[in-house]
């Protein structure tokens, strides 16, 4: 064999071997559930809470668990973001967490379908827990993917209507609106223009108006998002189409997209003291239960109320429902202490006292049916409204998908184009969105 030929062969072999070497580096270590949960063991728990009061609250829950389970020690690491979670779960290794919680439900489909988190169904069965009688429907939906219950809800969030009672009284409105036509009339009545802007806006309908996103609005129509085969129903679901049309109608009635956008640019930070509802720039807002705590801290004199967000006129009998989401918790498949980890997860998610105490401490909605009905949960009237929304059987959520909620971005993107007039044909936009969602999901498999 000629020298040059031999060299070429070596080079080609090396080039072919390199990808194999690369792929050999990509595996993750596998854990197991053969551990003895009665043995003395330390498990690593990653969570996202970072504020002092929140960290203290989760630590109290951990202390209570350790008191009940003296052989299991929990080492908690806070302020963990989803990016870190994703990297750690992929890397595996001895320093990877056993139990992980995340503030977003977006990645649940990915966590379940990829096997990053273990399916908790066998653990629940072993412990005699019936998920359908323990958790509410929406909470079960956003914590599983195609039957794989790889996470469980660890407190929840509910969305409702915040309204300024003083502004309502000044406009002669006696109670919060229940239907969308009442809502529209009230929003117009509460709006005061000043030159080419507003001195007070009834409601900011634009999708960039903080929590006024497509999925939060759409919950009032209970859309399906996907059919039984996992295909997008964006083009065929009547609720989604109605939601887009309703929002566009609100934009037009309250002054048009450009005028509202200019007013929106005067808003302060959503999570700061200059939130437009707290400063009185808007009279009504769609928001989660956490806003109450922020108002108490930064605008204690604000005279406000909370009610369920209005429903479409033809669904008036479903008044009381809203969008539900929350924090999730799961067990990493790389954990070698899954039985001990399950005892901790079981305590966090199903022990009524633990759930109620933690919910009260951080002003979140409890995540079990029993805890929602518990008399020990905060009975503040404004907070109670969110408990009722969370417990409402018609409340709903957005289902998990295998690509981290990319379908919500696609729908939101259509919303931006439709509200601004860039996409005038809604049906065409919905068909494009459905096709895009299906393509994205196919790509992720």
Q: Which is nearer to another protein, 146 or 266 (CB)?
A: 266
Compare residues 310 and 405 and give the one whose CB is closer to another protein: 405
**Least distance from another protein to the Cβ atom of residue 440, Å:** 8
Q: Out of 171, 264, 299, 318, name the contact with another protein by CB under 8 A.
A: 264
Binding part of the chain for another protein, among 60-68, 122-130, 266-274, 306-314 by CB under 8 A, reads 266-274
Choose one: 4-12, 132-140, 383-391, 401-409; the region binding another protein (CB under 8 A): 401-409
* Member of 116, 124, 254, 295 binding another protein (CB under 8 A): 116
Site for another protein contains 28 (CB under 8 A):
yes
CB of 228 to another protein, least distance (A): 24
How many chain residues bind another protein (CB under 8 A)?
A: 55
Min dist CB 294 to another protein, Å, is 15
For residue 201, the minimal CB distance to another protein (Å) is 13
Considering the rule CB under 8 A, would residue 198 count as an interface residue with another protein? no
The residue from 43, 57, 58, 89 that contacts another protein (CB under 8 A) is 89
Binding to another protein by residue 27, rule CB under 8 A? yes
Per-residue mark of binding to another protein, 48-67 (x: CB under 8 A): x-------------------
Which of 131, 205, 399, 405 forms a contact with another protein (CB under 8 A)? 405
193 interacts with another protein by CB under 8 A:
no
SS (H, E, C) the chain: CCHHHHHHHHHHHHHHHHHHHHHHCCCCCCCCCCCCCCCCEEEEEECCCCCHHHHHHHHHHHHHHHHHCCCEEEEEECCCCHHHHHHHHHHCCCCCCCEEEECCCCCHHHHHHHCCECCCHHHHHHCCCCHHHHCCHHHHHHCCECCECCCEEEEEEEEEEEEEHHHHHHCCCCCCCCEHHHHHHHHHHCCEEECCEEEEEEECCCCCCCCCCHHHHHHHHCCCCECCCCCECCCCCHHHHHHHHHHHHHHHHCCCHHHHHHHHCCCCCCCCCCCHHHHCCEEEEEEECHHHHHHHHHCCCCCEEEECCCECHHHHHHCCCCEEEEEEEEEECCCCCHHHHHHHHHHHHHCHHHHHHHHHHHCCECCCHHHHHCCCCCCCHHHHHHHHHHHCCCCECCCCCCCCCHHHHHHHHHHHHHHHCCCCCHHHHHHHHHHHHHHHHHHHC
Taking CB under 8 A as the rule, does residue 15 contact another protein? yes
Among 75, 90, 126, 384, binds another protein (CB under 8 A): 90
Q: Does 443 bind another protein (CB under 8 A)?
A: yes
Q: Which residues bind another protein (CB under 8 A)?
A: 15, 18-19, 22-23, 26-28, 48, 81-86, 89-90, 102-104, 106-107, 110, 114-116, 197, 208-210, 261-267, 270, 403-406, 408-409, 412-413, 416-417, 420, 422, 436, 439-440, 443-444
């Amino acid at each position: 064999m000629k020298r040059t030929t031999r060299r070429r062969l070596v080079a080609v072999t090396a080039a072919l071997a390199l990808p194999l070497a690369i792929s050999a580096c990509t595996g993750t270590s596998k854990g197991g559930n053969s551990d003895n949960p009665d043995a003395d063991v330390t498990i690593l728990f990653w969570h996202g809470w970072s504020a002092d009061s929140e960290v203290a609250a989760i630590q109290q829950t951990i202390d209570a668990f350790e008191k009940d389970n003296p052989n299991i020690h929990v080492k908690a690491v806070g302020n963990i973001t989803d990016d870190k979670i994703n990297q750690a779960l992929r890397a595996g290794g001895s320093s990877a967490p056993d139990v992980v919680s995340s503030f977003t439900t977006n990645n649940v489909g990915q966590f379940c379908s990829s096997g990053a988190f273990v399916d908790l169904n066998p653990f629940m069965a072993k412990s005699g827990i019936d998920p359908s009688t323990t958790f509410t429907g929406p909470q079960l939906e956003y914590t599983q993917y195609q039957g794989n219950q790889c996470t469980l809800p660890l407190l929840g969030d509910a969305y409702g209507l915040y309204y300024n009672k003083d502004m309502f009284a000044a406009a002669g409105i006696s109670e919060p609106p229940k239907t969308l036509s009442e809502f529209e009339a009230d929003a117009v009545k509460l709006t005061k223009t000043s030159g080419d802007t507003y001195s007070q806006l009834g409601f900011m309908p634009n999708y960039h108006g903080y929590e006024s996103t497509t999925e939060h609005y759409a919950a009032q129509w209970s859309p399906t998002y996907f059919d039984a085969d996992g295909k997008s129903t964006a083009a065929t679901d009547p609720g989604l189409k109605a939601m887009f049309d309703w929002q566009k109608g609100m934009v037009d009635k309250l002054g048009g997209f450009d005028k509202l956008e200019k007013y929106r640019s005067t808003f302060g930070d959503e999570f700061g003291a200059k939130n437009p509802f707290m400063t009185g720039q808007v009279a009504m807002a769609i928001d989660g239960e956490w806003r109450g705590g922020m108002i108490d801290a930064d605008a204690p004199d604000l005279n406000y109320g909370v009610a369920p967000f209005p429903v479409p006129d033809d669904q008036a009998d479903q008044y009381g429902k809203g969008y539900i989401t929350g924090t999730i918790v799961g067990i990493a498949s790389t954990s070698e202490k899954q039985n001990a980890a399950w005892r901790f997860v079981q305590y966090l998610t199903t022990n009524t006292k633990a759930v109620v105490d933690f919910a009260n401490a951080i002003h979140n909605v409890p995540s079990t049916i029993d805890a929602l009905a518990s008399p020990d949960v905060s009975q503040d009237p404004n907070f109670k409204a969110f408990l009722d929304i969370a417990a409402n059987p018609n409340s709903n959520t957005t289902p998990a998908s295998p690509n981290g909620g990319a379908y919500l971005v696609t729908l939101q993107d259509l919303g931006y184009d439709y509200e601004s007039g860039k996409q005038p044909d809604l049906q065409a936009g919905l068909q494009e969105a459905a096709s895009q969602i299906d393509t994205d999901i196919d790509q992720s498999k």
